[in-house]
Chain A
Amino acid sequence: MKRAVAFTGVIVALCSCAQPVPRGGHVVVALSSDASVLNPLIATGSNTSTVLQFLFTELVEHDFDSETGTDSLIPRIAKSWSWSEDRKSLTYQLRADLRWSDGVPITAHDIAYSYRLLGYKEIPSVRKGKLDHFVRSESGEIDWDRAVLARNDSTIEFRFDSAYRRENQLDDTQMAFVPGHIFRSMDVSKVASSEFNSKPVTANQFRLKTWNKKQEIVLERDPGWLLPHAAHLDEVVFRVIPDMTARLVELQTGGVDMVEGLTPAQALEVSKNGNCRIERQENRRLEYIGWSNIDQTAYRKDKTIRPHPLFGDARVRKALTTAIDRDLLVQAALESYGRTADGPVSPAFRWAVNDTLRPISYDPDLAKRMLSEAGWFDHDGDGILDRNGISFEFTLTTNSGNERRAFVAERVRDALERIGIRVHVLQLESNAYNTGLRNREFDAFIAGQVVNLGLELQNQFGSDLEKNSFNVAGFQNRSVDSLLERASTYWRLVDAAHELKQVQAILLEEQPITFLYWYDNLIAIRNRLQGTHVSILSPYHRFYDWYVKE
């Protein structure tokens, strides 16, 4: 009998597996703001990127192996790729059977012209960094006759000034490109405001059907695009709903099928609705407290680098981390949707995480002793530590409109006041906050980042502050510089594991910033939408597998 039941179970399972995925239908994705432009060369903003990934594809597709923590590449427009012997030239062989949404064949010339456009100063693009390593002429300008070469319709070659890291070469040569036949005859100064930006000719499973500005963007399946297979859905609709409450009401009443960026409380509420589920994009978003390691006033004045009067001493920074109960903070702010962070390398990259290090534990008494060793005592008995007549008092700045950061700021203030440090919390409007960060105007700040998958740490921890503008804390450490320099010389990223682990060890001791937590991007999805693959790469990863189960 048991065997019969088991056999029946297997048959049922096989039948259900063999069922074809339903085709047709549409899903609605909520966006907090409208796309800016649908031109991948000049687009900015996360919502715009979300829409663009449905419309434009790159030469290869990324996939992330969560077991090994490594990124792999799957051929898409490119069938194959290879390097020259000196590793200064990368050549892609393209498929010859792909067409733009207007029916014109996609060729290597489209890619070459897209890169050429990116090089013009008239094109306002945040992607110009992709050109940094392209081969240059003696005058220092990119030598366009040699840098990007369409050898024929299906072969494109990129040439670089050095044999820099493999993954970075691949990354620099991945860009959603635009149709050359549209832009070649256009004055370059008109590209940024061309009609293409709102009526693009596209190259992916979906193409633009309609765009009602600030309302909705409707994409329809491009029947001519079968790579890797035709999308199951007929349409994907992006509805612009700025207010999160309205987005969640729409989700629960069936007006939208997918909403991202929920708070843990919202996720718990939504998960009670039997028609919805919560999926997580884990280990991609980091939040931290930045301590200004250098006297930023002096630096702003004449680029002089000298230690910050409060945070210039690594012992002090380590004491501050020790005084903050980060585990409790995670529990209170993120519930089960986050984990304590001890360094800048995402736990997803298992091979690169230095798990031999002992994380800093919460111990306020130890923190006080560490501050005493650094010379901070309450000499005048006012309850605030002081040294050489300077009270340990500072402003912790964060951006307004972020409840999680506001909560953390208050908790950190309370924690530090318990060890004799007075903290003023300041919330600034986001744009003013970002400008202040860039101009190094803050003593201490709460910031966050979506970490890049190339494990690029130079920009955040490299000592050269002119070159590494994201080193807002002003961290200075020659050992880290040489380790990162050495890491960059390896051909493969995984070969740099040893250096990356050593950097983590130094950062743990130096605490240029207090790493707080990795928080999950929480995505609510109605159960009618199936086939989703929320991954560290994107909540919309492999969207062409999505289907509707009514």
Chain B
Amino acid sequence: MLLYSLKRLIGSIPLLIGLLTVTFFVIRLAPGDPTAMFIDPSIDPDAAEHLRESYGLNDPLPLQYAKWLGVAPPFNGVLQGEFGISFSRHQPVFEIIREAVANTLILTLAALMLDFGIGIFFGVIAAMRRGRPTDHVINLIGTFFYSMPAFWLALMLILFFSLKLGWLPASQMHSTGAAGLSPVAYTVDLLRHMVLPVFVLGIGSAASTVRFTRSSMLDVLKQDYIRTARAKGLPERTVVFKHALRNALLPLITLLGLSIPFLLSGAVITEVVFAWPGMGRVVVDAIFARDYPLIIANTFVAGCLVIAGNLLADILYALADPRIRLIKPGPA
């Protein structure tokens, strides 16, 4: 398995370089410019030109690419691990990403737990109560949350729980002055700020996970080995949770693998509405500012996560299902 993982990781390097190269050219082809904001009579007319020169944007595109890659002087590019300085924030790009990653992970991991926790739990119940009122109610509520736009749900929750009831904060990770609180009070403050964004982020995906789990469970419950388990007189709880659920979860592993990139990039709208200082906002701000180095670094992180997610899904599949072997055994 280790060999398989290594081969996959090494094989993905050209894929990543290809992805970054495409991104490099596509963002430069898109309309807009990192210096576009300087069209203002109160700013020196030559300011944009000065900045373009400073950023190296006046070089011919092939030379820009060669410098970015690190195969032209000063030989300090992506191949040397140098992704550059952000145009808009004047910081090394990975420094910016590192600051935002932890905040996003707090949010998205909690949302992912909510997603799979609620999704699997209610999916199993819906499958067990197929066609009964409980199934219909779960289905109805799931459809309600699934079809609701995240920004609208977020605004409604803010207006109700923050403005109307005053129970929960409307934005950000912490209250003003939280740094001076005791560790317990600080954590409580963080948890209070997390409630609304985590709910918004997790509930829509949970609705889809419910449908997925329900469908998968119904398939498994029809299998002969479940009938055999019941015929053996095993308690229904054991049949469902030990025999059926483990098999029904196999397709969810794919879903989990696909969710890994979401951990760092899937919370854009929620982060903006709730002023959560995470990766989503870094990406949005970078795109609007045409901050090329930061966009490329974000693409790199997202690409790595997709590769890691797929690899993780394959490994989990192999661990969960003994019939799957990642590398064919050689002849005996």
B41 near A252 with CB under 8 A, answer no
By a CB distance below 8 angstroms, the chain A residues around B85 are 192-193
Q: Quick one: given A122-B54, A192-B90, A210-B179, are A452 and B42 in contact (CB under 8 Å)?
A: yes
B274 near A126 with CB under 8 A, answer no
A62 CB within 8 Å of chain B: no
By a CB distance below 8 angstroms, the chain A residues around B179 are 210
Cα distance A123–B273 in the bound complex, in angstroms: 35
A272 CB within 8 Å of chain B: no
Cα distance A438–B40 in the bound complex, in angstroms: 10
Cα distance A434–B32 in the bound complex, in angstroms: 7
Partner of A431, one of B155, B175, B277, B289: B289
A450 CB within 8 Å of chain B: yes
Partner of B275, one of A198, A241, A253: A241
Instruction: Name A437's closest neighbour in chain B (CB-CB).
Output: B39
A45 CB within 8 Å of chain B: yes
Q: Quick one: given A197-B90, A250-B171, are A431 and B100 in contact (CB under 8 Å)?
A: no
Of A50-58, A212-220, A311-319, the one with at least 4 CB within 8 A of chain B = A212-220
B10 CB within 8 Å of chain A: no
> Contact flags (1/0) for B218-260 with A, using CB distance below 8 Å?
0000000000000000000000000000000000000000000
A467 CB within 8 Å of chain B: yes
B281 near A126 with CB under 8 A, answer no
118-134 of chain A: CB within 8 A of chain B: 121-130, 132
> Contact flags (1/0) for A436-473 with B, using CB distance below 8 Å?
11100000000001111000100110000001111010
Of B45-53, B130-138, B208-216, B308-316, the one with at least 4 CB within 8 A of chain A = B45-53
From A28, A449, A469, A472, name the one whose CB has the most chain B CB atoms within 10 angstroms: A469
Q: Quick one: given A243-B171, A246-B158, A253-B170, are A438 and B39 in contact (CB under 8 Å)?
A: yes
B163 near A253 with CB under 8 A, answer yes
248-262 of chain A: CB within 8 A of chain B: 249-250, 252-253, 255
Cα distance A215–B176 in the bound complex, in angstroms: 10
Partner of B171, one of A212, A246, A434, A470: A246
Instruction: Name B166's closest neighbour in chain A (CB-CB).
Output: A253
Q: Quick one: given A128-B44, A450-B40, are A239 and B272 in contact (CB under 8 Å)?
A: no
Q: Quick one: given A239-B176, A240-B277, are A470 and B158 in contact (CB under 8 Å)?
A: no
B45 near A469 with CB under 8 A, answer yes
A432 CB within 8 Å of chain B: yes
Closest Cβ of chain B to A163, distance in Å, is: 21
By a CB distance below 8 angstroms, the chain B residues around A243 are 171, 272-275
Cα distance A429–B36 in the bound complex, in angstroms: 12
A245 CB within 8 Å of chain B: yes
Chain A: interface residue count, which band?
35 or more
Cα distance A255–B92 in the bound complex, in angstroms: 32
By a CB distance below 8 angstroms, the chain A residues around B163 are 249, 252-253
By a CB distance below 8 angstroms, the chain A residues around B96 are 213
Closest Cβ of chain A to B165, distance in Å, is: 10
> Contact flags (1/0) for B267-310 with A, using CB distance below 8 Å?
00000111101100110010011100000000000000000000
A28 near B41 with CB under 8 A, answer no
Instruction: Name A126's closest neighbour in chain B (CB-CB).
Output: B47
Cα distance A45–B41 in the bound complex, in angstroms: 14
A253 near B173 with CB under 8 A, answer no
A45 near B170 with CB under 8 A, answer no
B184 CB within 8 Å of chain A: no
Q: Quick one: given A128-B46, A129-B47, A240-B277, are A451 and B176 in contact (CB under 8 Å)?
A: no
B277 near A44 with CB under 8 A, answer no
Q: Quick one: given A36-B89, A127-B44, A240-B275, are A431 and B172 in contact (CB under 8 Å)?
A: no
By a CB distance below 8 angstroms, the chain A residues around B88 are 36, 44
By a CB distance below 8 angstroms, the chain A residues around B64 are none
A431 near B89 with CB under 8 A, answer no
From B45, B51, B179, name the one whose CB has the most chain A CB atoms within 10 angstroms: B45
B50 near A125 with CB under 8 A, answer yes
B91 near A124 with CB under 8 A, answer no
B4 CB within 8 Å of chain A: no
Cα distance A436–B32 in the bound complex, in angstroms: 8
A37 CB within 8 Å of chain B: yes
Cα distance A430–B284 in the bound complex, in angstroms: 13
Cα distance A450–B100 in the bound complex, in angstroms: 33
A246 near B44 with CB under 8 A, answer no
A450 near B176 with CB under 8 A, answer no
B39 near A470 with CB under 8 A, answer yes
Cα distance A48–B101 in the bound complex, in angstroms: 23
Partner of A45, one of B31, B37, B275: B37
B176 near A216 with CB under 8 A, answer yes
A435 CB within 8 Å of chain B: yes
B170 near A255 with CB under 8 A, answer yes
> Contact flags (1/0) for A15-33 with B, using CB distance below 8 Å?
0000000000010100001
A431 near B36 with CB under 8 A, answer yes
Closest Cβ of chain A to B34, distance in Å, is: 9
Instruction: Name A237's closest neighbour in chain B (CB-CB).
Output: B176
Closest Cβ of chain A to B76, distance in Å, is: 12
Cα distance A122–B33 in the bound complex, in angstroms: 20
By a CB distance below 8 angstroms, the chain A residues around B55 are 124
Cα distance A241–B41 in the bound complex, in angstroms: 28
Instruction: Name A344's closest neighbour in chain B (CB-CB).
Output: B41
By a CB distance below 8 angstroms, the chain B residues around A497 are none
Closest Cβ of chain B to A210, distance in Å, is: 7
B169 CB within 8 Å of chain A: yes
> Contact flags (1/0) for B71-109 with A, using CB distance below 8 Å?
000000000000001001111100010011000000000
Instruction: Name A249's closest neighbour in chain B (CB-CB).
Output: B170
A359 CB within 8 Å of chain B: no
Closest Cβ of chain B to A352, distance in Å, is: 16
A42 near B90 with CB under 8 A, answer yes
A124 near B166 with CB under 8 A, answer no
B159 CB within 8 Å of chain A: yes
By a CB distance below 8 angstroms, the chain B residues around A429 are 31-32, 288
B65 CB within 8 Å of chain A: no
Cα distance A197–B96 in the bound complex, in angstroms: 13
By a CB distance below 8 angstroms, the chain A residues around B43 are 126, 129
A242 CB within 8 Å of chain B: yes
A431 near B288 with CB under 8 A, answer yes
B67 CB within 8 Å of chain A: no
Partner of B277, one of A215, A250, A459: A215
By a CB distance below 8 angstroms, the chain A residues around B91 are 37, 193, 197-198
Closest Cβ of chain B to A546, distance in Å, is: 16
By a CB distance below 8 angstroms, the chain A residues around B45 are 129, 459, 467-470
96-132 of chain A: CB within 8 A of chain B: 121-130, 132
B162 CB within 8 Å of chain A: yes
B174 CB within 8 Å of chain A: yes
By a CB distance below 8 angstroms, the chain B residues around A122 are 54
Partner of A241, one of B32, B159, B162, B171: B171
Q: Which 5 A-B pairs have the closest CB atoms?
A: A129-B44, A214-B277, A431-B32, A434-B36, A432-B31
Q: Name 15 A/B residue pairs within 8 A (Cβ), A-sorted.
A: A126-B51, A129-B47, A193-B90, A197-B91, A214-B277, A215-B173, A241-B171, A242-B272, A245-B159, A430-B36, A431-B36, A431-B37, A434-B33, A449-B41, A459-B41
Contacts A246-B158, A246-B274 known; list 17 others, CB within 8 Å. Answer: A42-B90, A44-B38, A124-B90, A128-B44, A193-B92, A212-B277, A213-B96, A242-B281, A243-B272, A246-B273, A246-B275, A250-B171, A253-B162, A431-B288, A438-B39, A451-B41, A469-B45
Residues of B within 8 A of A (CB): 30-33, 36-48, 50-51, 53-55, 85, 88-92, 96, 99-100, 155, 158-159, 162-163, 166, 169-177, 179, 272-275, 277-278, 281-282, 285, 288-290
